[in-house]
Copies of this chain bind each other. A is one copy, B any other.
Amino acid sequence: MVKKKKFIAVIGGSQCSSQEVKLAEAVGRELARQGAILVCGGLGGIMEATCKGASAEGGTTIGILPGDNRHAANSYVQIPIVTGIGYARNVIVVKSAQAVIAIGGNYGTLSEISHALQNNIPVIGLNTWSLSRKGQPDNSIIPAQNPTEAVDKALNLATS
């Protein structure tokens, strides 16, 4: 039954480096190999690369779109969710997951990291944001050194 599978969000920019594309695709492949369902924002860049990787291994891919057009989803999204609520949809991307893997990313990704941490959803980071507040480091983002480690950590922490 699909519901027993784990839902993992992968977040990152629609603009990203070619190295990040490789990381994202590897994360997608590994998630699918381990039987997880991929949740993402449904657009290009990191989102597309991760969906491509997951699809190549027969995984399921969900794209939670900001706009009104299902055809805006990248071509590897199997389940487009059409929100029409703009970047407020970032909240839904993370809430629909039991753990989040962040790869690089811009301010949109940072908003997703923040919403995840606010909701006690674990965040694993691959070369992404780091945080400090009032001058003290905040180590809530769990670092990973490579895609396999990121996926292993995400699946271990995806217990809620």
How does the 8 Å CB contact mask read for A60-94 relative to B, with 1 for contact and 0 for none? 10101000101001010111111111111001100
| Tally of A interface residues using CB under 8 Å | 53
List CB contacts (< 8 Å) of A105-160 with chain B.
105-108, 110-111, 113-115, 117-119, 127-135, 140, 160
Closest to A71 in B: B160
Closest to A98 in B: B70
Closest to A136 in B: B130
Contact between chains at A87 and B84 (CB < 8 Å): yes
Chain B residues with Cβ below 8 Å from A118 are 87, 106-108, 111
Main secondary structure of the interface of A (DSSP, over half): mixed
Docked Cα-Cα span, A113 to B64, in Å, equals 22
Asked if A1 meets B87 with Cβ closer than 8 Å, knowing A104-B134, A110-B114, the reply is no
Docked Cα-Cα span, A127 to B79, in Å, equals 29
Interface residues of A (CB under 8 A from B): 1-3, 7, 37, 60, 62, 64, 68, 70, 73, 75, 77-88, 91-92, 95-96, 98, 104-108, 110-111, 113-115, 117-119, 127-135, 140, 160
